[in-house]
Amino acid sequence: MYEKLYNKEGNVPPPFRIDAKLYSKTYDFGIFIFDVTIPLRPLLSALKYMLQAKTTTDDNLSFPRSEIYLNGNRLVYDERNHLKVFKVLPRKITIDKHIKDIAIEIVTPLYIKDKGNFKRSIKLDDILLSIHRRKRTFEIGKQDTSSLKYTPSYTLISSELKIFHEKTHSNDQNTDVPLLGVTGQLVIMNLDEKSFELLKYGEILALGNKVAKGQGIIRLVY
């Protein structure tokens, strides 16, 4: 399972991401899995064990009453914390309607590279291109660097973006590491259908670098 989660062949990003919020007052979080061959039972069992242990947080807290849901369905564990039988119903992206006027909220720091450096000025085209390449990378199984096959059409109403730069503690490196990226909101009108579809994928896949650690999460508001 570890090899599947962290396989770096072909420079492909990890087939999962953490879904969390900045400055959250609770320990609610999600994990998105993008590879159907990853065995879920050992992963879910390890997650339950982690929440029971007192090594999850710096304050040695445990969460014995925590609940785990798989695609909206609550999982049941027995008195020994063994996972009972469950059904796997993969989540599908459905786009019922094309929404032309939207707001794009960048929830966690978006880190996009431009010629190897952090791109500080982000436009909608940058967001769409990043989602396109991430989506294609998972589809073809290797790093994708292609351009968009169309020209996005939209009207930018407002761009309220800012640089987020703080530090977070890394257990792997046992030190504080920079948490850098762009956060804020873009308001768009008259958005074309292909771009709206890409953004819907972006809500699930996230975008940019360091996605597996929870960066690059977007939400669409309409």
CA–CA gap between residue 16 and residue 13 (Å, rounded): 8
Task: Report helix, strand and coil shares of the chain as percent, to nearest 5.
Answer: 25, 30, 45
CA–CA gap between residue 20 and residue 22 (Å, rounded): 7
Calculate ∠ Cα 197-199-200, nearest 5°.
Answer: 65
Q: What is the pLDDT, as a whole number, of residue 10?
A: 60
| The pair of three-digit structure tokens given for residue 163, joined into one six-digit string | 């640089």
Q: 194 Cβ partners below 8 Å, 6+ apart? A: 150, 152
Q: What is the pLDDT, as a whole number, of residue 37?
A: 87
CA–CA gap between residue 139 and residue 35 (Å, rounded): 10
Mean pLDDT in consecutive groups of 10 residues from the start of the chain, 222 residues: 71 89 86 90 89 77 88 89 85 89 98 94 97 95 94 98 90 83 98 98 96 95 96
Helix (H) or strand (E) holding 106: strand 102-110
Q: What is the pLDDT, as a whole number, of residue 174?
A: 78
pTM of structure? 0.90
Residues 108, 112, 118, 121, CA torsion sign: negative
Q: What is the pLDDT, as a whole number, of residue 32?
A: 94
Residue 212 DSSP class:
G
Is 177 in contact with 168 (CB distance < 8 Å)?
yes
Q: Residue 98: which of 205, 222, 196, 6 has the closest Cα?
A: 196
Domains of the chain plus CATH, in order, are 2-74 (no CATH), 102-221 (3.30.70.1900)
